[in-house]
Amino acid sequence: MKKVNEIMNKVKIKTTINNRSYKLDVLPNQTLLNFLREELGLTGTKCGCEIGECGACTVLINGEAVNSCLVLVPQINGKEVLTVEGLSDGEQLHPLQKSFIEHGAVHCGFCTPGLLMTAKSLLDENPDPTEEEIRNAIAGNLCRCTGYIQVVEAVKNAAGEY
């Protein structure tokens, strides 16, 4: 019996990842998470559960925060993807990155890329969120180290910089 990957035709897509355009032949059954990490070497996006529960793999697709473990690569055709590697402007850190550093919101750092992307999507939409809105926004990002308090403070403070 042939393997799925052997009989499956690759799909041609055009996409923008971290402000760079790509023309790609991709496997239709590959997750975006796996594609970013294994094919593009963008390992900043983390794999924690692969079922869309932990949020460590959060990236932005057209500005919206999504779990990249639940997205198949062809779904990014014609869309813009932003990962943690594309968050800073060269050496210049994004206000959220600075704020996470200043407020001690980073402990082990494994959930940090996902939290940063979720927070960016929130602040792009709502530059002055209440604490409750911040907590609602990041409720899908699990963090075992921080107890979320310094994360909420960091997002609140970064909002002031927007």
Partner 1 sequence: MEQDKYKIIGKPEKRVDVLGKVTGKAKFADDYNVKHQLYGKVLRAKYPHARILKIDTSKAKNLPGVEAVLTADDIPGSKVFGIVVQNQSILAFDKVRYLGDGLAIVAAKTKEIAEEALELIEVEYEVLPVVTDPEEAIMPDAPKIHGDNNIFVHHKVRKGDIEKGFQEADYIIERKFKTQFIEHSYLEPEAILAEPAEHGGVRIIGSVQNLFSSRRSVAAALNLPLNKVQIIQSTLGGSFGGKDEVMTAMCCRAALLAIKTGKPVKMVNTREESMLESYKRHPYTMYYKWGIKSDGSITAMEIKIYADGGAYASMSPYVTWRSVVQATGPYYCENVKTDVITVYTNNNYTGAMRGFGSPQVNFAIESMIDIIAEKVGKDPLEIRLQNGFEKGAITATGQKLEHNVSLKEVLLKAAKEIDFQNKWREYKSQSDAPIKRGIGIACSYRGVSLGAEGTDAAGTIVSVQTDGSVIVSSGITDMGQGAQTQMCQIAAEVLGITMDRIVFLNTNTSRVPDSGPTVASRGTIMGGYAAKRAAETVRSTLMSVASEMTGYDVEVLDLKDNYLIDKDSGERLASFSELAAQCFKKGRPMFGFGWYKSPPTSWHEENGYGNAYFTFVYGTNIAEVEVDTETGKVNVINFVSAHDLGRAINKQTVLGQFYGGVAMGLGYGLLEEFEIEDGIPKQLNFDEYLLPTAKDIPNIKAIIVENEDAAGPFGAKSIGEPTNEIAAPAIINAIYNATGKRIYELPANLERVLLGHKLTRKGERGSVQKEKEELIIESCKIK
Nearest to 142 by CA among 67, 42, 71: 67
The DSSP secondary-structure symbol of 75 reads G
* Nearest distance from C-beta of residue 44 to partner 1, angstroms: 2
Does 53 engage in binding with partner 1 (CB under 8 A)?
yes
User: CB–CB of 86/17 below 8 Å?
Assistant: yes
Does 74 engage in binding with partner 1 (CB under 8 A)?
no
Does 50 engage in binding with partner 1 (CB under 8 A)?
yes
First to last CA, the chain: 56
Does 80 engage in binding with partner 1 (CB under 8 A)?
no
Does 19 engage in binding with partner 1 (CB under 8 A)?
no
- Among the listed ranges 19-27, 71-79, 122-130, 149-157, the one in contact with partner 1 (CB under 8 A) is 149-157
Does 8 engage in binding with partner 1 (CB under 8 A)?
no
Nearest to 136 by CA among 149, 156, 122, 150: 122
